Amino acid sequence: MGVLTRHARLTHGLIPHPQQRIFPMPSSHLVRSLVRLPLVFSILLVCECDSGQAANRLANETSPYLRMHANNPVDWFPWGEEAFEKARREDKPIFLSVGYSTCHWCHVMERESFSNPEVAALMNRHFVSIKVDREERPDIDRIYMSYVLLTTGSGGWPMSVFLTPDRAPFFGGSYFPLEESYGQPGFRTVLTRIAGAWDSDRPSIVESSEQATNMLRTLTMTGADTRGSVALDASVLDAVFAAFDNSYDSTYAGFGDTNKFPRPVAYNFLLRYWARTGNDTALRMSLETLRAMAKGGVHDHLGGGFHRYSTGRAWRVPHFEKMLYDQAQLTVSYVDAFQITGDPLFAETARDILDYVLRDMLGPEGGFYSAEDADSRYDAASPEHGEGAFYVWTAAEIERLLGATPVFPAGGDELEAQAAAVFSYRYGVEAGGNVPAAQDVQGELAGKNILYEAHSPSETARRFNSSENEVDSVLAAARSRLLAARGERPRPPLDDKMLTAWNGLMISALARAGQVLDEPSYTRAAGRAATFLQSRLYTAANGRLQRRYRLGDVAIDGFLSDYTFLIQGLLDLYEASFDTRWLEWAATLQEKQDEIFWSDEQHSYFTTGDGDSSLLYRRREDYDGAEPSPNSVAALNLLRLWQLFDRDEWRARADESIGSYADSFAQGPSGLPQLAVALDFAVSKPKQIVIAGNPAGADTRVLLRLVHERFIPNKILLLADGAENQAQLARWLPFVQTIHPIDGRATAYICENYVCNLPTSDPEIVARLLDGEPVTAFRR
């Protein structure tokens, strides 16, 4: 990925609020000559190849991204005291390079500059060079990305920042080409000028770095509402909705008018706003966007799952990487949409995502890998690679593969003979390729086709004078053949590290899908992932989480997101499995989270603990982007835990945290949709739904299905099984002890604020109560 436009920065959660000030840049000749560099978008290829160069320190690291630089002639250091001490001892500035393993321009810069002996000699002579994987260390990334955004107005990866030996930033940017191009100076020139300025203009650089660091600290410390925590009401939700309504693209769906990013946190809010208000516009915007994405080129129509984002308004041409956090959050969005509409498209898309994840991103111990790259080799025998190479097709390939031997169902011979034409019509395949040149700046996709749903099944049937069933059969067989052919291509590299936070999101997705789609295998997969995290990334003795697992190596103290996303996953997993051990672990993690991250001064949570002296300052996240802010997730977790454990201090902490963002809501209401979801819960009357019955009983399952097929966002769901799980629930919520089946039949107790309607075993009455309809008489 290269530059982030304003919309992209918003989506990634990196841009400051509109009223936050931008730092003045240093006044040195160096900065005047290099400031405001235009940058570019794209992606990366993981390569752990041996170039013959002696390995540097990064060969000892576990991160796939760091290891791809292990054979560079650059004297790389990982982030740590060894590098800092060298910079102080030799009085050299630090060059900090931050990226991740599915970032195209990170690979380009590695090949162009970091593998170049002359450039490496400059770097080694004048700088101490540090390489950071932003997915392993989001804390470092966000501190210095804040600086880059505030000083240049844009940012992206690879992020290139120059620091004093005390780690204070004084110049930053993103991708620098080896030689001057894209309107930017070459990286060799940048290094030479910065080295010269360090020798000749040191006081100005140091002063600028101190000013920048102080400003960053000030912005963080004043991020909380200056009045403390302010009570918010439902009018805030109206403002958030209005902000999304104003930015909606009514032509192509989605938000904004340039690159389109899936943003599940927005759909989470809009669907709940519809449930609260009945506002059909909120529902329409969400459903239209989800349908447009499912039909577009951002959706992998052969292998399943979603690519990172669309490079244009129409969802047609994607940035091809596949991220675990996208798959997880989008699964939940499609499941919610299916609950609301009953439209099979949404259920099919959710299954499509999970089929992909369980096939291609699942590790042998039950945890999930992080990402698949956008780039891959064109041919196994050649090192040449390109963006989207694994996914795109020429018209000639389609014709050769589908116009060959019969692989299609018996009958309908005339239609089978036109299989290539049928497929091409349905999925937009064109003889000269279907990628606009403006969306292919490197020319890698010329003559190629990205599959998207150009015509509906009914349009395709009419075009070929056939029934939809016949067309569906031909297309299913065609997709199967093309998927098999694609499987012979070199696969995109896999980033096989496992992150606690992203696995927590996937546990939520599997648990929610297991409930709504009535697919026990998804719930079992969620349970295996939770067991993996508990056994590999959790230390019971101190109650702490670690962030990363790869090849048996566990490292990095967990960040706030690791706790909040996992707690959310465990709460969802309980409601799918009714195993109270997951609730118990969630409560234990919440207590540890409060201990490590809570700030009385900020009225919310810092993203890091206070034990890392290498960080310039502690941040709190206040933006829901590609991933939700961990503070937003924490607030909703606290409200759910309050309902489950009847602990008023968690309710109070949730209210305090939400209220601390009053200024943020006022300045940029669309920036915190997931926090608005928590506010919606806080100002609602949550339902407590308790089903009393044998979990294996058919009558219990009938009542649970009535709950699962409805979109009821502000609720907790409990199962009183008459056994140890119920006994454990009763220790936390004493009223559960009195709940039991009536007349030997599974019984529903539907309550608000623990004031319950009369219990009933009648599915019809249960359905009406869940729908909020008045019921004048009960048939038990």
State the pLDDT at residue 373: 94
Residue 42 in contact with residue 8, Cβ under 8 Å? no
State the pLDDT at residue 35: 38
What is d(CA 400, CA 686) in angstroms, rounded to the nearest whole number?
A: 58
State the pLDDT at residue 11: 33
State the pLDDT at residue 416: 66
Sheet containing 687-692: give its strands across: 715-720, 687-692, 747-752, 755-756
Q: Beta 747-752 vs 755-756: how paired, if at all? A: antiparallel
What is d(CA 193, CA 30) in angstroms, rounded to the nearest whole number?
A: 6
H-helix or E-strand containing 717? strand 715-720
| Dihedral pair phi/psi, residue 319, rounded to 5° | -90, 120
State the pLDDT at residue 228: 60
Residue 74 in contact with residue 97, Cβ under 8 Å? no
**Which three-class secondary structure state does DSSP give residue 130?**
strand
Measured in whole angstroms, the distance separating CA 527 from the mean position of its chain's CA atoms is: 21
* Helix-helix angle 580-597:520-536, to 10 degrees: 40
Residue 745 in contact with residue 700, Cβ under 8 Å? no
- Best CA proximity match to 715, nearest among 611, 639, 618: 639
Tally of CA atoms within 13 A in the half-sphere of 397 that contains its CB: 17
Integer CA distances (angstroms), 410 to 357, 406, 416, 473, 732, in order: 32, 9, 9, 10, 61
Measured in whole angstroms, the distance separating CA 180 from the mean position of its chain's CA atoms is: 34
* Helix-helix angle 630-645:560-577, to 10 degrees: 40
What is d(CA 299, CA 353) in angstroms, rounded to the nearest whole number?
A: 9
What is d(CA 422, CA 262) in angstroms, rounded to the nearest whole number?
A: 29
Cβ count within 10 A of residue 235 = 9
The most distant pair of C-alpha atoms in the chain lies apart, rounded to whole Å, by 89
State the pLDDT at residue 409: 47
Q: What is the DSSP letter of 586?
A: H
User: Can you list the residues of the chain whose pLDDT is less than 50?
Assistant: 1-51, 405-412, 777-780
Residue type present at position 683: V
